[in-house]
């Protein structure tokens, strides 16, 4: 096949369409798998308990959420981070798990210290 025939507009259009669809679906699935793998490597909460519940509280957010931010006092203290953890069907077993947790400081310096953490809802 000559290069001119191989690069015919109809073939290029079909190839681009197939590549785009594969990229969209495969990229989405791969992003989900990466988030699941990352979620296994760190906890969904920091070591602070919510003042009413005595342990970290998971705040359900939509499953298509990607990022969240933590605010703090001072220059350069605002951080952006991924929301990798997601509610799933696996029962964690009888508790209690983890702990002990620190209470929210009297003068909180960071939104991370309130004991409320985003967790994505299931698909």
Partner 1 sequence: MSRRFTLLTLAGLLICLAAEAASAQSGWDGRRRVSFQRKNDLFYNYYVGPQPSGTAAEMYVSPLPVPVHVGHTYNTYQPLLPHEYLHTHKRTYYTHNPGHGWTRTNVRYNSYDYLFKAFAYQQVKPHYYPRPASRQ
**Are the C-beta atoms of 86 and 26 separated by less than 8 Å?**
no
* C-alpha span between 117 and 123 (Å, rounded): 19
Angle of CA points 58, 64, 68, to nearest 5°: 55
- Per CB under 8 A, contacts with partner 1 among 11-50 are 11, 14-15, 17-18, 21-22, 25-26, 28-29, 32, 36, 39-45
**Minimum separation from the CB atom of position 63 to partner 1 (A):** 6
Contact residues: partner 1, CB under 8 A: 8, 10-11, 14-15, 17-18, 21-22, 25-26, 28-29, 32, 36, 39-45, 53, 55-64, 85-93, 95-99, 101, 119, 121-123
């Amino acid at each position: 096949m000559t290069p001119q025939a191989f690069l015919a507009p109809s073939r290029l259009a079909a190839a681009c369409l197939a590549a785009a669809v594969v990229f969209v679906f495969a990229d989405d699935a791969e992003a989900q798998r990466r988030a699941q793998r990352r979620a296994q490597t760190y906890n969904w909460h920091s070591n602070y308990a919510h003042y009413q519940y005595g342990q970290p509280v998971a705040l359900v957010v939509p499953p298509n959420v990607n990022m969240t931010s933590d605010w703090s006092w001072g220059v350069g203290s605002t951080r952006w981070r991924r929301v990798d953890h997601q509610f799933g069907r696996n029962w964690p077993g009888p508790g209690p798990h983890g702990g002990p947790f620190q209470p929210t400081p009297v003068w909180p310096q960071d939104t991370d210290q309130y004991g409320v953490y985003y967790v994505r809802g299931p698909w």
